[in-house]
Amino acid sequence: MPGSSSLSPQPNKYKRFQVLAGAILVQLILGTVYGYSIFWEPLTADIFPVVITEAQQAAQNSAEIAETTIIVANNAEMKVEMAKQQGILKYAFSICILSFATVMVIAGRVQDVKGPTIPAIIGALLMGSGFIYAGLMTNAIVFYLAHALFAGVVTLLVLMLFDTFLGHLDKESVIVRYAPMSIMTTCIVASIMLGNQYVGKIAEMDRLLLLWGTIGFMAGAGIGFAYVCPIAALVKWFPEQKGLVSGIAVAGFGLGAYLFSQKWGALGYISEQGIFPFFIIHGLVCIVGITAGALLLCNPPSTESASNKTVLPDSTWQETLKNPAFYLLWLMFFSGAMAGLMVIGIIKVFAGEQLVTAASEAGKVLTAPETSALMLKGAAAVGLLAIFNAVGRIVWGFLSDKIGRTPTFVAMFSLQAGVMFFLAGMKTEAALSIGAALVGFNFGGNFALFPSATADFFGAKHLGANYGWVFTAYGIAGVVGIAAGNFAKVLTGSYAAAFTLAAALCLLSAGLAIVLQLMQKKQKE
């Protein structure tokens, strides 16, 4: 729905720019989730046994080889084994994205009722605590504390889901009355049994499970609570520029990963101090920074649109789920998110491997330091993807206000499909840089267009809950995208098949955008 290209003056204009500043600060820190790809290499060394070839075993003193060392026949098998190890680690990112999207359904309803500040602060505490716990995983007692906290969070979320979906039922029912106590009892018993059985007794799996539960589940839940708050508030403060302000706010989310990819940022700190101290520092930054931004957020005195252009009435989340337009939006979001998340989760390693492969194909015999240097160059692709992720959110959001959502959707999905088709064949620094930048640019547009489109179809009043349901597509895409990429890599040695699948889905979504426009016209008539 096109609107004015400039931010038109309204009452409380200084207040709404304060809200915009708070939104950018919150999103900037939440966006560091897109920098997860720099964790996998240092975590592999800290969590899994060392992998060496038989030739390396013969060249080393047997006393220097640990009992847990994995010995394989040749370099090809070593690459496969290391790909499996990193593939397992990458599921922390998938869990984070799935938790992010799932919890946002609950957080959206809390935001609609309580306003944006409270759920954003809850998000700060959850995300920060997740990283702090992960940073302390070298201490045995942390495994038990994290296990207990994880069980408590799961219990709380189950109880909240119960209240969300069944809380309206007759309280005189015995089942409804005692269900919360039954849920708590079940979770407590299961937690104690699992703790006694597994915690501290399964070698590297201890750290892996803790990692999944902390920077995976807890951090994702924190992002889910905080993410929707700035967007829902801004759409109410800027009803005429939904695409633009959504893009500006979530541009901070895209820039967050840039901090991770620089030597003067997280990457440099990890290289010098190690991954676990970084987790602790980042956890503290999350708590302080997101809370500060949350205190700047608020809803306007009235959530009614200043313009009378919106024909469609506000829909509750129950009504939204009955609307066929929701499912088209969901599938489109799934396609765009899958393509982007698949690349984000592996971009640093993928870009480095492409450069190493290109050098080998050119007949160059690489030394270990030269191989490491090429792999490190993959971090440049992470930075470019992050920057253009942020730029894309603003540009696509602005375009959608100027020319309409549908033409913008078609252009964005078509361009992303073209990039994904050719990405696996890019083997030079220039090509990989352009490819990463375009993937980030198009991926970022999803987060400006879909909240705006959700508000167009279902209104701003219940945007928190409605967009929470649309956003579940993002969570499913995170799991499917990482799984498809890992499967293709292990099975074929290349990500090409997974990239092609993502490209096909993007083309499908470009067509669905046109169908969605026709459906919107019919609803208005």
DSSP for 101-170 reads HHHHHHHHHHHHHH-SHHHHHHHHHHHHHHHHHHHTTTSHHHHHHHHHHHHHHHHHHHHHHHHHHHTTS-
Residue 312 has pLDDT above 60, yes or no: no
> Which among 19, 238, 251, 275 has a CA at the least distance from the CA of 136?
275
Cα gap 304→107, rounded to integer Å: 21
Residue 171's pLDDT band (cuts 50, 70, 90): low
| 4, part of any domain | no
| 13, part of any domain | no
CB environment 139-171: b (16+ within 10 A), e (fewer): eeebbeebbebbbebbbebebbeeeeeeeeeee
Q: What is the mean pLDDT of residues 41-69?
A: 68
- Angle among Cα 379, 381, 386 to the nearest 5 degrees reads 100
The H or E element spanning position 224 is helix 219-237
Number of structural domains the chain divides into: 1
Cα gap 64→323, rounded to integer Å: 64
| 8, part of any domain | no
**pLDDT confidence of residue 124:** 95
Tell me, what CATH number does 348's domain have?
Answer: 1.20.1250.20
The domain in which residue 276 lies consists of 23-524
> Which among 163, 138, 137 has a CA at the least distance from the CA of 150?
137
Residue 64 has pLDDT above 70, yes or no: no
pLDDT tens digit string along 427-448?
Answer: 887 888 888 889 889 988 888 8
Q: Are 92 and 212 in contact (CB under 8 A)?
A: yes
pLDDT tens digit string along 172-196?
Answer: 666 677 778 888 888 888 877 777 7
| 385, part of any domain | yes
pLDDT tens digit string along 466-520?
Answer: 888 898 888 888 778 878 877 887 787 777 888 888 889 899 999 999 988 887 7
**pLDDT confidence of residue 63:** 58
Query: Which 3 state secondary structure label does DSSP give 53?
Result: strand
| 388, part of any domain | yes
**pLDDT confidence of residue 70:** 67
**pLDDT confidence of residue 410:** 93
| 57, part of any domain | yes
Q: What is the mean pLDDT of residues 374-400?
A: 79
Query: Which 3 state secondary structure label does DSSP give 51?
Result: strand
**pLDDT confidence of residue 523:** 66
pLDDT winner (highest mean) among 100-109, 216-225, 495-504? 216-225
User: Left (φ > 0), alpha (ψ -120 to 50) or beta: where does 200 sit?
Assistant: left
| 159, part of any domain | yes
Phi, psi dihedrals of residue 315, rounded to the nearest 5°: -110, 140
Residue 2 has pLDDT above 60, yes or no: no
pTM exceeds 0.85: no
**pLDDT confidence of residue 4:** 38
Residue 7 has pLDDT above 50, yes or no: no
Residue 304's pLDDT band (cuts 50, 70, 90): very low
